[in-house]
Amino acid sequence: MSAFWPTFEDLPGLAAPMAGTIGFEQIRKILRQTGELATSVNCPSPGGDGCPRRVVDHGSGRFVAVCGDSPRNCDDLTLTRADIIIHRIDVKELCRQIATALGLSAPATLGAADILHVGDFEPIKGKRFPVTLVLQTERNAPSL
């Protein structure tokens, strides 16, 4: 669980390819394939102007991630199509998982684009308090 939130928060736009995503296995249950292919993958030594690695399609299902730094900081990385399929967070499933973990009543329903109604906390019968989740979908979005 310790890798869950950092991995979740590092996904730009709540989507990323499997290759190069640290902690991917921790959040797999709430990811759905988009069918889109990544044009770049995270690098183990990010830093230069050529980061992240650029994905090159060599045809016949062969892909290579290439360091764009000069001089190169990392080796080429051989990838499969499965490695570069972009996965997106299924926010409805995320809310369902949170509601279940917290014992919230009422099924998860979606609200506005980045504000989600997860469920209701009902400490005493008849006293309900809505639980919401606010998602920052852009890495550089202003904080509240």
Q: Rg of the Cα trace of the chain? A: 19
Instruction: Say which residue the tokens 């090159």 belong to.
Output: 56
List, for residues 105-140, the tens digit of each pLDDT value: 765 556 556 778 888 998 888 898 989 888 766 554
Burial class (CB in 10 A: 0-12, 13-18, 19+), 35: exposed
List, for residues 65-113, the tens digit of each pLDDT value: 988 887 887 888 899 898 899 888 888 888 888 888 889 976 555 655 6
116 within 8 A of 132, measured Cβ to Cβ: yes
Q: Pick the more confident residue, 3 or 90.
A: 90
6 within 8 A of 23, measured Cβ to Cβ: yes
Q: Where are the domains of the chain?
A: 4-89, 91-134
